[in-house]
Amino acid sequence: MRISLKNLEFYGFHGLYEAENKMGNSFKVDVIIDFKPTVEVVDQLDQTIDYVQVFNRVKTIMAIPTPLLETLVCKIADQVLADHSIAEKVQVTITKQKLPIANFEGDTSVSIEKIR
């Protein structure tokens, strides 16, 4: 089974450059969790992964200024696996939407996949 949280939007102060730390930036986060339910038919919240809890965990991590997106994706993935024993694999992608680089058009992303 898979739960996906996609295009979660956060504003944060992540980055190595002074402008990023002062002005902040918009970030999008995707979290995909593959898991094996403990029952054949899931009909109770405690038999699955609560995506509200996952969202709140991501929100907490994204609120802490961090120089590297690589650090953030690792923290989120590790925390999802720690919080949910039925999680078998987690993929996290963070996209920084506006880079403080002259003439740079587009965005940049960092992703990780961790398997229990």
Residue found under tokens 């899931």 = 42
pLDDT tier at 19 (50, 70, 90 boundaries)? confident
Residue 57, C-beta contacts closer than 8 angstroms, at least 6 positions apart: 76, 79, 80, 83
Residue 9, C-beta contacts closer than 8 angstroms, at least 6 positions apart: 26, 27, 28
Q: What is the pLDDT of residue 9?
A: 97
Distance CA 28, CA 32 (A): 13
**Digit-coded pLDDT (tens) for 72-108:** 999 999 999 999 999 999 999 999 987 777 788 888 9
- For 68, the 3-state DSSP assignment is coil
Could you tell me the strand order of the sheet in which 108-115 lies?
A: 2-12, 25-35, 87-96, 108-115
Q: How far is CA 91 from the centre of its chain?
A: 8
pTM: 0.92
CATH code assigned to 2-115: 3.30.1130.10
Distance CA 17, CA 56 (A): 27
